[in-house]
Chains A and B, each alone.
Chain A
Amino acid sequence: MAVLSYIQAVTEALKEEMKRDDKVFILGEDVGPKGGVFRATDGLYEEFGEERVLDTPLAESAIAGVGIGAAMYGMRPVAEMQFADFIMPAVNQIISEAAKTRYRSNNDWNCPITIRAPYGGGVHGALYHSQSIEAMFANVPGLKIVMPSTPYDVKGLLKASIRDEDPVLFLEHKKAYRLVKGEVPDEEYTLPIGKADVKKEGNDVTVISYGLCLHLALQAAEKLEKEGFSVHVLDLRTVYPLDKEAIEEAASKTGKVLLITEDNKEGSVMGEVAAIIAERCLFDLDAPVQRLAGPDVPAMPYAPPLEKEFMIDLDTIESAIRDLAEF
């Protein structure tokens, strides 16, 4: 077992898949000699050459659209959006094209593209380098949205996304890139898309989260454990389509549920998680479902105190769990 950072797991997954299948290639802005603005494609240009690590013109709809065309032909493109915030010009290509290719052609064509994008805040990125964008895509059947929290999940799920026969939006928390480290097996593995993962067993309160917030939830759980509260933590890992069985099971287990996302609260994927719980196991609950999320302001501001006000912190999570436990 090697210890990798979150971003090293991205790079390793890309490298292994490019070695395994010569139809896998990368396209995006600055992915070539520079190795990406976050260095996610570091060393790949040198190893695989210009044709498979393609620096594109600065035009997101073309990055997605050209990738979609190549995927329909039978290639395995991995398109990089430099920041999730900049995916907006490509939305038509992703929603009208990639997500509907199989359905509209009655299974004649398919579109096995992976679109990677760094999302999330806490890095002084201000309004347009900090957003969570998953909710905008989480009502689009035909698309899958993967948002891993650990290097182990990153590697296994990115490899699975590249091998998937359908389009996957793979969202990486940019603050996690170097902050989060973890053990990754040396041997080859993939993880199933669409499956949530219990990151910690517990009996008093269930926390459901994903991405960077998941780590805050685990830290809070560990702290509260010492006070005698047993916290169950479920990592969604895939936010569309959701793992409804795992959500029901986790919610029913403790009857007290806290949902945490960094996204703006209203309309976030956590509203759907709450609806699944209400539909499937309302009468197993012992307290109202609680949500912690970003505020309903357009995006997070630049100045440090303002950014901090937007982000969810450990204390807030801790007290929300304690309140639920004592309800």
Chain B
Amino acid sequence: MAVKHEQLGLSDEDVLLMYEKMLLARKIDERLWLLNRAGKIPFVVSCQGQEAAQVGAAMALDTEIDYVLPYYRDVGIVLSFGMTCEELMLFSFARAGDPNSGGRQMPGHFGQKKNRIVTSSSPVTTQVPHAVGIALAAKMEKKDFVTLVTFGEGSSNQGDFHEGLNFAGVHNLPVIFLCENNQYAISVPLDKQLACERVSDRAAGYGMPGITVDGNDPLAVYEAVKQAADRARDGEGPSLIETTFYRFTPHSSDDDDSTYRSKEEVEEAKKNDPLRTFASYLKDAQILTEENENAMNKKITEVIDEATDAAEQAPYADPSSIYKYVYAEKDGDN
């Protein structure tokens, strides 16, 4: 039965790496909650339940040349594009060494130019037109890279979603719009967000293909994003991909989800936890064994422990630094 990844051209090593990244994202997130509840970091916004879609999508891209505009839950994406566990910890501890912002932004507002992870803000969906602009630059400069932008299903109601998709459709740009549909926009469920059945239905209005895939299956997401990336590189324009799954945690560390959904609903959804289902796929294929699973868990724990210690001990930025970088400084900043 475990032939699906082979049909996609992925080796056993590839899918093991895929699982390892998903697991690393999950374990980092779990650690962040512990640190938050211990009073060591002020805020967490989670990726739990979304790791398969994130890692599956990122692995379908060329992480050496492609651009990515992640939204605030995309730990799996930024890890895949080269951000390290220690860098994520520096971000959560708001330390000077945080490559995203030097401790200026809340966690989740990713950005790291050397890895082509584009800086982001808190008003949702503003990144969608930016992705279209980067794709426009690729077309103008005749470059071969594609741009992936992600957002939640709630964001698909914002004007910037519609304006961005329309612009990309009209100008036939090499960009992939990846919706991470986790069923809730903070507390508001899907049926109060969309009048159409699926986010992907909206693609038709903008002259691009739109599909919905099982976001708990990293291979299904990989396949969809790979096809969209191939289309984009071949000059065939943009695609909208909706990945569906369930948000396992409250919206953030400041949210109490018991006010709007039941424990039973959450427990039911966790039966499809992508970490569990993908692990069992890999075990059935004898790719994940007791031995390499133990080694993987041990390694991840060590990496996270070291990163946590290093970040906790790292300094904050000097208070006087708040005056820096409002504008380019004289000594030749970009």
Contact = CB atoms under 8 A, between A and B. Distances in A.
A105 to B, nearest CB: 4
A206 to B, nearest CB: 28
A69 B132 contact: yes
B140 to A, nearest CB: 6
Contacts of A67: 133
Interface residues of A, number: 44
B333 A103 contact: no
B334 interface: yes
Given A65-B163, A72-B133, A93-B126, 6 more contacts: A57-B170, A65-B126, A72-B118, A72-B134, A96-B123, A101-B119
Contact of B104 (A54, A57, A103): A103
A56 B327 contact: no
B102 interface: yes
B99 to A, nearest CB: 7
Contacts of B132: 62, 65-66, 69
- Going nearest first, the 9 A-B pairs with the smallest beta carbon separation are A69-B133, A65-B129, A69-B130, A106-B102, A62-B163, A165-B328, A70-B133, A66-B133, A105-B119
A318 interface: no
Q: Which of B126, B133, B136, B328 lies at the interface centre, i.e. has the most chain A CB atoms within 10 A of its CB? A: B133
Contacts of A100: 121
A140 to B, nearest CB: 10
Contact of A165 (B111, B123, B166, B334): B334
Contacts of A282: none
Contacts of A62: 129, 132, 160, 163-164, 166-167
B101 interface: yes
Contacts of B325: 102-103, 106-107
Given A61-B160, A73-B134, A108-B111, A66 B167 contact: yes
B40 to A, nearest CB: 22
Contacts of B164: 62, 65-66
B159 interface: yes
A51 B109 CA distance: 32
A89 interface: yes
A306 to B, nearest CB: 33
B99 A61 contact: no
B99 A108 contact: yes
Contacts of A64: 129
A108 B100 CA distance: 8
Interface string A61-82: 1101111111111110100000
A67 to B, nearest CB: 6
A122 to B, nearest CB: 32
A75 to B, nearest CB: 5
14 contacts: A66-B129, A73-B137, A75-B133, A92-B160, A93-B126, A103-B104, A104-B104, A104-B111, A104-B121, A105-B119, A106-B325, A108-B112, A108-B113, A165-B327
A110 interface: yes
A56 B307 CA distance: 46
Interface in B306-334: 324-328, 333-334
Contacts of A77: 133
A92 B135 CA distance: 21
Contacts of A311: none
A104 B109 contact: yes
B333 A110 contact: yes
A156 interface: no
